[in-house]
Structure formats: structure tokens, C-alpha cells
Structure 1
Amino acid sequence: MLKDKNYAIKLCCISATVIAVITTIVLVTLAFTVFKRHDPDLVLYPTGLAKLQLDDFITQDTITSEMVMSIRNRNHGSFKFENTTSHITYDGELVGWVPIMADTIPEDALMNITAYATLRAKKLRENPKAINDIVSGSLNLTATATMRGKMSIMGIKKKGSVYTECHMTMYISEIPIRGDSWCWTKLEI
């Protein structure tokens, strides 16, 4: 009888240990795969630049141009963000803005958001360095934004922010005007 009781206790302890080891392995694997935070990828497509002319920079106080932001969420959770505004600077000086309307980026998905950038052309004309760049045919701008919201992974919601910095070059001496950009993003939860 005592032998059967000891055997049952040993079997129970071994089973509990095996279950604990398997659970630990599963949780560690999930932590390094599914629950690992990935920074989103962002690409800007300045689709409205082709409609602008060099004269617009000289004659207008503000210029509005359409752009498409292509955001790839590589996380296994959606990100619902609030309204935000991206600030456009030239040589450290605020020269424009891009309002970004609240939306949800689904998990592991690519989403395109259309937004409209407003540049203060008058402010650019007041900067001698900007005038030289405009005359030379290219203008380098920086856009920064902080998108605040909630990340939702398997029903668990947690506050988070995505910090974005995009460097853009507008080739305004070319017809049509075109632009290039590269962006850096950081997700913090």
C-alpha cells in the first residue's frame, strides 16, 4: 500500500514537472515570436506633387498636396490610433503639417492612408537657404509624427505610440515635380 502511494506521488510530481516545462517552453516561444514587438514599415508616396508647378512655390502662400502613406504592421496585433498631425520642417523650422485621421491598422497587414500635406510656401520663401534650394531644383524636408493609440493582441489592449521620422526630397526643377523619401519608425508599448 505504501509502495503504491509513493509511486502515485512520484508520478504526480513527474507529470507536474513535465507540464511546467512544456508550459515554460510554449510561453518563451510565444514571447519571442507572436508577442515580440516589431516596428512598422512606412513608405510615403507623394502622389500630388505631379500636379504642382515651380510657380506655386513662388506665387502661393500655402500649397496642398496629396500623399499616400503605406503602413505595414508586422505585429500579431492591431493598432488603433487617434487623430494626429505630422509636422513638416525645413532646416529645423516648421513649414507645414499633415493631419492624419484616426484609424485602425489590422494585424500583419498593409494599409494605405491618404493624407494632404500643407506647405507654407511663404515661410519657405522667407528663408534664404530655401530660396537657394528651390532655385537649385531640390528641397529637403523632414516630417515627424507621433501616433498614439492602443495595441490589441489576442484581446489584450495596451497603450502604445509609433514615432515616425521621414526625410523627403522634392525635385521641383523637374516636370512633373517628383519626390523621394525614406522613413524611420519606432513602436513603443
Structure 2
Amino acid sequence: MVTRKCLKISCAISVVLLLIIVGVMLTLYFTILKPKQPILIPQPVTLLHLHSDSPLEFNLTLGLTVTVDNRNYGSFTYQDSMLYINYHDTEVANGLLAADTIPARAKHNISTSVVVFGDRLVTNVNFKSDVFGGVMNFTSSSVLHGEAKVLKFIKKKATSYTTCNISIHITQRTPYSVCKNELKL
């Protein structure tokens, strides 16, 4: 009789302890480990090279850097990706974003330089009006496919979508950019 009573008590204690552990794990997941959108801090776009021999020969090299503030408790490792820059819905440049890892709870710079295809830029219908207006507007977009790791053993495929609006003031040669990012797990 005593052994049966002890067995019931130990089963009840085991169930209570299991419920407490599951409750703590769920609380941790929904508070601390829940994936959060990283914060993108666009750095000023650098105008690395601007050269024009004639109106039809126009070379422009941009340096792009975005600081990613990964607020998550997991790192994000992404594969080689392409960055595309459009000018009024026409692709005028692209560049390679080399594979890298954004550490957990850290800030990380993603940088590349792109050469704008002058012929595509100059032949665009809006080019003359933008040059005479003093401002050229571009849109950059990239998709980073990778893997998010939490606690070094939980791995989940993730994709980061980034879009930046870039304005370059021609006379002052100063660029301005605003970026948005979305992370899908």
C-alpha cells in the first residue's frame, strides 16, 4: 500500500515539474527568444567616383554601407546575394553582397560598391530633368537568404528583404538614404 502511495506522489511531482519546465520554456520563447526585426541604420552613401566627359559618357560609383543591429539572441548567416539599384524602374547597377554572419546581439556592417551603368542612366527619359533639377533618386533592393541560429543548436531558415531610397544632390555631391528591412522566418 505504501509503495502505491509513493508511486502516485512521485508521478504527481513529476507532472508538476514537467508543467513548470514547459511553462518556463514557453515564457522564455515568447519573451526573450522571440525573433525580432533587426534595425537597419543606413550609413551615408558615399560617392566614390563621379566622372562625365560628355553627356553620353557618365560614370558613377557608389559605396553603400548599412549597419544591421541584430537584437536577437541568435546569429544570422547569409549566402552570397546581389544588390540591385534602379533609377525610375530601370536597373542601372548591381553589386555582390558577400556571404557573412551577423552575430547575435551585435551591430554589423554590410558594405559593397556598385558601378552605375552610364548608358542606362543617360538614356532614361527622366535623366535630363533630374540633372537640371539637381537631384537623382535611386532605389536599391536586396534579398539575403540564410539561416538564423538560436542558442547554437536551434536553426531556422530566414530571408531578409531590404529596400533603400537613395537621393543624390548633384551640385553638393551629397547622398541621402532611407532603408527598410523585413525578416521572414
Q: Same fold (TM over 0.5)?
A: yes
The equivalent position to 2:144 in structure 1, one of 135, 143, 147, is 147
2:39 aligned partner: 41
Structure with the bigger percentage of helix? 1
Tell me the C-alpha RMSD between the 2 structures. Answer: 2.2
Q: Deviations over 1:70-115 (max 9, x none)?
A: 1111111111111111111122211111211111111111011331
Q: Secondary structure at the match of 2:35?
A: coil
Q: Deviations over 1:104-141 (max 9, x none)?
A: 11111101133102212321211121321121011111
- TM normalised by structure 1 equals 0.85
2:175 aligned partner: 179
Structure with the bigger percentage of strand? 2
- TM normalised by structure 2 equals 0.87
Counterpart contact for 1:54–1:172, Cα < 8 Å: no
Superposition pairs for residues 65-84 of structure 1, below 5 Å?
Answer: 65-84=62-81
2:155 aligned partner: 157
Which residue identity lines up with residue 37 of structure 1 in the other structure? P
| Percent of paired sites with the same residue | 28
Instruction: Report the Cα distance in structure 1 between the residues aligned to 2:127 and 2:71, rounded to whole angstroms.
Output: 37
| Matching of residue 93 in structure 1 with residue 96 in structure 2 | no
Note closer, same or farther for the CA distance 1:60–1:42 as it changes in structure 2 (3 Å cut).
Answer: farther
Note closer, same or farther for the CA distance 1:60–1:43 as it changes in structure 2 (3 Å cut).
Answer: farther
The equivalent position to 1:134 in structure 2, one of 118, 131, 134, is 131
Which residue identity lines up with residue 18 of structure 2 in the other structure? A
Runs of 4+ in 1 over 6 A off after TM superposition: none
Which residue identity lines up with residue 63 of structure 2 in the other structure? E
Which runs of 5 or more residues in structure 1 are unaligned? Answer: none
